[in-house]
Amino acid sequence: MNSDIKKNRMTDVVLTILKPDGAPLANQEVTVEQTNHKFLFGTAAFDLVPLTSGDYSGEKKELAEQRAKKIAALFNAATLPFYWGRFEPKRGEPITEKVKNAARWSLEHNMVTKGHPLCWHTVTADWLLELSNAEILQAQLDRIHRDVADFKGLIDMWDVINEAVIMPVFDKYDNGITRICKEHGRINTIRMMFDAARETNPTATLLINDFDVSSAYDILVEGCLEAGIKFDVIGIQSHMHQGWWGVEKTMKVLENFERFNIPIHFTETTLVSGHLMPPEIVDLNDYQVTDWPSTLEGEERQAEEAIQHYKTLFAHPLVEGITWWDSSDGGWLNAPAGLLRKDGSPKPAYDELMKLIKGDWWLPPTKIITNINGQIQLSCFSGEYNLKYGGYKETFTVTKEGASNNSQFMIHMKNIEK
């Protein structure tokens, strides 16, 4: 696996550093350091909405600030909440400004933002139930146009549709989205939602997302692709409240989607640090407990599984992102799924992921002597880098493409005094 990580994530680059007069900066010590990953190490960051909107005060605010700081130290991507029923509980009164605050905070902290989700049958707006199917569809499309436009520049990545596999057959309760999906079919519903999002923000990264990892999902993806729908990313949830999938199942799931040759995000990754949810539970939402404690033993298991899961996914050439769900304990299902405990302290899994993301898979500030041609050689992860010399700084980007072309980075150190 480590050799796959090297092969799929690292690039050998040669940088040529020139002085202002164009002559090579020969035999000098420069410092190179990574400042960001291209790979998206993300987390559900719903807590940022109340925090950045002034909804917390006192100790609550302090704790939320600490959590946010820890999140930003580890992750470079944030999934922000667009559950329609909560985003626009009363028709015409969306909480756009609040979520914009969270998006701005994320961007300021070098976190790529994603909106989740634009169309889903769960936690959707209750007021849809009073509309006709044609009106529901129009409201859904209007909502996509409005929100994708409102957040353009603040959020340019969207889970456009969530859980379309069960969408038309979802029978736990009546809801507007199941109604329209039943009428129009999955593929046409997906097509309409993607068209709406694409029209409004043509360069956005648009995902289909699902928890279903049976053949049903990859068959749906195949059907959509054959019908001409363009996904930028295939999103795969992996809520493992009932136990870690293990490497074998994870690889099997990946294998089912490899043939499409489309980037993959693991959009919702859960590993609990307490007891496992009983295997007989089919819909995770059915497991309602008042207390689900994080345990010492559970935290060790969670840390080990997190390491294995991230290593497995980071090694796969098509995976371009992993999102942890939730960052702190006590979120969805009251599960001990956080990397942080309720008191904000980091669990072993947090520390272990830090060791990978900002350790093994990261180039810390490193001093290198240029050769006689002003060149240095590096083997580094795709991402953003600083190159420093004296009091000067240049930035550069490393991608896989750079390596495949054996490209050279020409860097002008401006205003260098000999």
Look up tokens 């992750």; give the residue: 75
Choosing from 27, 35, 138, 215, the residue that interacts with its own copies (CB under 8 A) is: 215
**For its own copies, which is the closer residue by CB, 223 or 330?**
223
Counting contacts by CB under 8 A, is residue 410 touching its own copies? no
CA distance 110 to 145: 26
Is residue 189 a contact partner of residue 236, using CB atoms and an 8 Å limit? no
Stretch that binds its own copies, among 126-134, 217-225, 282-290, 327-335 (CB under 8 A): 217-225
**Which parts of 163-283 fold into alpha helices (H)?**
176-184, 186-200, 215-226, 246-258
Q: How many secondary structure helices (H) and strands (E) does the chain include? A: 13, 15
The residue within the footprint of its own copies, chosen from 223, 246, 263, 330 (CB under 8 A), is: 223
CB nearer its own copies, residue 25 or residue 221: 221
256 belongs to the binding site for its own copies (CB under 8 A) = yes
Does 121 help bind its own copies (rule: CB under 8 A)? no
- Measured from the CB atom, the residue of 47 and 218 that comes closer to its own copies is 218
The 259-298 contact track toward its own copies, x by CB under 8 A, reads: x---------------------------------------
Q: Is 258 in the site for its own copies (CB under 8 A)?
A: no
If binding is defined by CB under 8 A, does position 187 make contact with its own copies? Answer: yes
Backbone angles phi, psi at 259, to 5 degrees: -65, -20
Cβ-based neighbour number of residue 155 at 10 Å: 27
Per CB under 8 A, the list member of 150, 156, 222, 384 interacting with its own copies is 222
Binding of its own copies by 174 (CB under 8 A)? no
Largest Cα separation within the chain, whole Å, is: 75
Q: How far apart are CA 265 and CA 92, in angstroms?
A: 32
Part in contact with its own copies (CB under 8 A); list of ranges 116-124, 186-194, 299-307, 408-416: 186-194
Report the distance separating Cα 16 and Cα 304, nearest Å. 41
Residue closer to its own copies (CB basis): 195 or 212: 212
* Single-letter amino acid code for the residue at 337: A
Instruction: Check if the beta carbon of residue 366 is closer than 8 Å to that of residue 33.
Output: yes
Site stretch for its own copies (CB under 8 A), options 115-123, 164-172, 332-340, 401-409:
164-172
Q: In this chain, which stretch among 21-29, 208-216, 235-243, 363-371 interacts with its own copies, using CB under 8 A?
A: 208-216
Residue type, 96: T
Cα 376 from Cα 378, distance rounded (Å): 7
Q: Segment near its own copies (CB under 8 A), from 57-65, 77-85, 185-193, 290-298? A: 185-193
Cα 15 to Cα 146, 371, 383, 394: the distances in Å are 44, 11, 15, 12
Name the residues that contact its own copies, by CB under 8 A: 165-166, 169, 182, 185-188, 212, 214-216, 219-220, 222-224, 226-227, 256, 259
